Amino acid sequence: MPRTAAEVHTDLVLEPRDVKFDWSRLPLHWIPDEPFATHTINVLHLLLPEGERWFTEVFKDALPLITDEQLREEVLGFIGQEAIHAEAHQEVLDHLLGQGLDPRPYVRQIAWLFQRILGPKPHLSPRQRRENVIERVAFVAAIEHFTAFLGNWALNSPGLERAKADPTMLDLLRWHGAEEVEHRSVAFDLLVHLDRGYGRRIRGMVLGGPLLVHLWVRGVRYLLAADPELRGRLKPSWRQAWDGAQRGMLPDPIQSLRSGLRYFKLRYHPTQEGSSAQALGYLATSPAARAAATR
Ligand SMILES: [Fe+2]
Ligand SMILES: [Fe+2]
């Protein structure tokens, strides 16, 4: 008998897949003739290495607070997956630098944000330290809502093929997206395990959602200005974002906003978004994930 979506999700064992990508032939505009869409998605590479390393630090800090053995296993699987995601996106950053687009000034700001502003605070009492860890877990849970949304979008975005996007980059986006869908419940379940309160959950989104939008807009602006072929001639606009979404190359801004608002539902749970079966289906065919499985 076919398994239900809930059964597929419950039976998941999160395993890091040690993927490798060859970027040597990646064009600067890997969606041909679409620099705006290319750089809007490239913001992921700017944010994720520092962001996902920070996720793993937060979750390592949370490990001593976990009293449920299964959740602990899931958190360890999450840490393993996010650590590999961070390194995979870092390699794209290194490639951009080799192509004459220097991402480092922007990335330095992101590193400062995650390490200094959102990093662990020294000199806290054990009680304050616990509170600080849970507050940061709430922030991760809110961001993970969006990474799952984006992952689900990447898995269901034929517009990228129509636009002839680079297949290796598509595999990176979909492998990562599939793992985001696969582990989409972990941060939320960890938060509920540590604090069932609605207030903390909401605070994570009220802070995390607008911050993410702000960083994304700044990131697009930065990449377009730093692009050695464009030399600042292409100015970003919401109209281009809307146009890119209509042609299926970018997530729809309205759908993204609606998705953020669903996080406020009292009975929200990440499993209501995306499909674990679809994610596993992609991971079974992903060239990078298949190569990793045979290594
Ligand atoms: Fe990730
Ligand atoms: Fe994630």
Q: Give distance in angstroms: CA of 233 to centre of ligand 1.
A: 32
At 121, is the pLDDT very low, low, confident or very high (cuts 50, 70, 90)? confident
Ligand sitting nearest the alpha carbon of 44: 1
Confirm if 144 and 188 have CB atoms less than 8 A apart. Answer: yes
Indicate the average pLDDT of the chain: 95
Confirm if 270 and 184 have CB atoms less than 8 A apart. Answer: yes
* Residue at 190: amino acid letter: L
pLDDT digits (tens, 9 = 90+) for 187-223: 999 999 999 999 999 999 999 999 999 999 999 999 9
At 8, is the pLDDT very low, low, confident or very high (cuts 50, 70, 90)? low
For CA atoms 26, 28, 31, 37, the dihedral sign is positive
pLDDT digits (tens, 9 = 90+) for 26-80: 999 999 999 999 999 999 999 999 999 999 999 999 999 999 999 999 999 999 9
The answer, yes or no, to whether residue 9 has pLDDT greater than 90, is no
- Residues for the chain: how many in total? 295
* Residue at 51: amino acid letter: G
Ligand sitting nearest the alpha carbon of 173: 1
Q: How far is CA 39 from the centre of its chain?
A: 16
Ligand sitting nearest the alpha carbon of 186: 2
What does the pLDDT read at residue 3?
64
Q: Give distance in angstroms: CA of 54 to centre of ligand 2.
A: 11
DSSP letter at 247?
Answer: T
Q: How far is CA 129 from the centre of its chain?
A: 26
Q: Give distance in angstroms: CA of 70 to centre of ligand 2.
A: 18
Would the pTM count as exceeding 0.75? yes
Ligand sitting nearest the alpha carbon of 143: 2
Burial of residue 242 (number of CB atoms within 10 Å: 0-12, 13-18, 19+): middle
Mean pLDDT, to the nearest integer, of 130-158? Answer: 97
Q: Give distance in angstroms: CA of 16 to centre of ligand 2.
A: 12
What does the pLDDT read at residue 13?
83
Q: Give distance in angstroms: CA of 178 to centre of ligand 2.
A: 10
Burial readout 58-84 (b: 16 or more C-beta within 10 A, e: otherwise): bbebbeeebeeeebeebbbbbbbbbeb
Q: Give distance in angstroms: CA of 235 to centre of ligand 2.
A: 31
* Residue at 163: amino acid letter: A
Confirm if 95 and 26 have CB atoms less than 8 A apart. Answer: yes
